Structure 1
Amino acid sequence: MAAALPEEGALPGYRVTSAPETKTGGEKSDHSVRPAACQPLEDARSRVFADSVASAWVNISAQEFAPPTETLTFTSYRSRGAGAYLSSLDTALDTCPSLSLLSRYGDRVDVGVERVKDQVSVGDASVSFRMHWALNVDGFKSETYSLVTTVRSGEGTITVVSDSSVGSQLSDAKKRAFVPKLDQQLLERQADALGEAQRS
């Protein structure tokens, strides 16, 4: 999986800002999300793929403008596992217009969730959603917008997570400039790379 990830200079419009990292086997959820049925959504954002065989990821950044954190992950599954994973995200999105999770400071934070309905035209199936929440740390207020997109290709998935944090004092118009959006070309290139990796 790691060999299929893009290297610096190989991803038009983006910089690859880290070396590939890999993990064999799934990772357990921390089960901090409420309601519990919404846990798959935070797991996807946090790169927790409980039933996977292996995963590999790199951090990327758009050359012109991008949220400060973007991660591209390839994940492999056993037979029908990738489809089951996407179904779990679909089910969670149908029942979770909002959820709460623990921040890095241990506070419980309310998070809004919305399905992204822009059509992803690559892979065998896809799920995309945004999450939005606000934090107040020592009087500094910030808002985070996160876009999570997963595309299934055979028994593998591509997950692109884009997180953008902005000061809440910005106007709504300026905040919209930071809201992550789907990049169809990025998804298409990586779906092709994942498909090639599965055939080799």
Structure 2
Amino acid sequence: MTSAVAPLDASATVVAVGDVHGCATRLMLALLPHFHTGAELMFLGDLFDRSPEPEGDARVIELVRSLQAEPAAYGLSAVTVLRGNHEQMLLDALDEQLPGEALKLWVRNGGNQNFLATARDHRDWLEALPFTAIRGSYLFVHAGVRPGVPLDQQLEKDLLWIRSPFLECEHGLPYTVVHGHTFCSDFAVTRLPHRIGIDTGAFLSGRLTALPLTV
């Protein structure tokens, strides 16, 4: 399991961005208020798949990589991108020598085969995406954590895929976990003492959450 830990000033702001799923136009609108604020952007994974607009996946990766390469040009302190289960399914599909089960799984989950050529150009970047990041008292991760398991013993499949029992139980870690992966039927942000869920179903609802947190 890889993670990103950075020391931050007490007044630092991290803007957590929920599952984008190829919503390129919605992503730019959600980010505009946070440009030139000195904040760090924290993408929680699932940048791609199920895109509701033409070339959405390609436009998202172009924007996100531009932001990460030159955050100061946008008035940001940093841009961190975490791995989601859709990035993992895409990588698994790219790893196949011939189209097989991994490709079928990715396509069944909204993968667009027209995006594969672009994804290959970004493969090294995708493979380097961390699974977690810690900022202050917040642990950022795509899906969640398995309750009762120390952070350094969490399985990558849980960090990418878990729902139950994470959604129902306190996890026991000394952090508030900020996650995506699961949206509610009302597409609202979930705020509990031990977790904040910010997947608001952008590809269905048109609502992409970019949540500023003081860390």
Q: TM-score, normalised by structure 1?
A: 0.30
* Bigger relative contact order, structure 1 or 2 (CA pairs below 8 A, ≥6 apart): 2
Point out the structure with the larger strand share.
Answer: 1
Point out the structure with the larger helix share.
Answer: 2
